[in-house]
Amino acid sequence: MAAIEEQMIEYPKVVSGASGGRYAQMLAESGAIGTAERLNATSNIQQGFTDAILAGRPDLTIEWLVLVDRELHRHVNRDALINMHRKISDSLLPDVTHGDQA
């Protein structure tokens, strides 16, 4: 959980505005697991997630932190884990469906 606490400090520095403040509030109110499940109950992508990805900091997303910490996997429901994986994969993998094809 130390990584999540460190993330709480770094995230608002990278993600400014309402997204950064709201995220910190959610973590304080619901904890890491509650926040992770809440943000990943659907496959919708939140603005704060997009902001962190565009800033080159996927490591600051709750999705990333939960996925790299196997200890947290057992505390998060399966559907949320699937949505987290999909969001991270889709945001980091190149789009191979468009552009020039050989």
Task: Answer whether 98's CB lies under 8 Å from 59's CB.
Answer: no
pTM of the prediction?
0.74
The token duo for 78 is 């399966």
Q: Please report the beta strands in 1-102, taking only residues with DSSP state E, as ranges in sequence order.
A: none
The token duo for 45 is 């992508």
The token duo for 93 is 């993998």
**Regarding predicted confidence, which is higher, 101 or 65?**
65
- The whole-angstrom separation of Cα 20 and Cα 11 is 6
Q: Which residues of 15-27 are buried (b: 16+ CB within 10 A; e: fewer)?
A: beeebbeebbebb
SS3 83: helix
Give tens-digit pLDDT for 34-64: 888 888 888 888 888 888 888 888 888 888 9
- Residue that the structure tokens 């190149």 belong to: 94
**Residue 90: pLDDT above 60?**
yes
Confidence of residue 7 (pLDDT cuts 50, 70, 90): confident
**Residue 11: pLDDT above 60?**
yes
The token duo for 19 is 């997204």
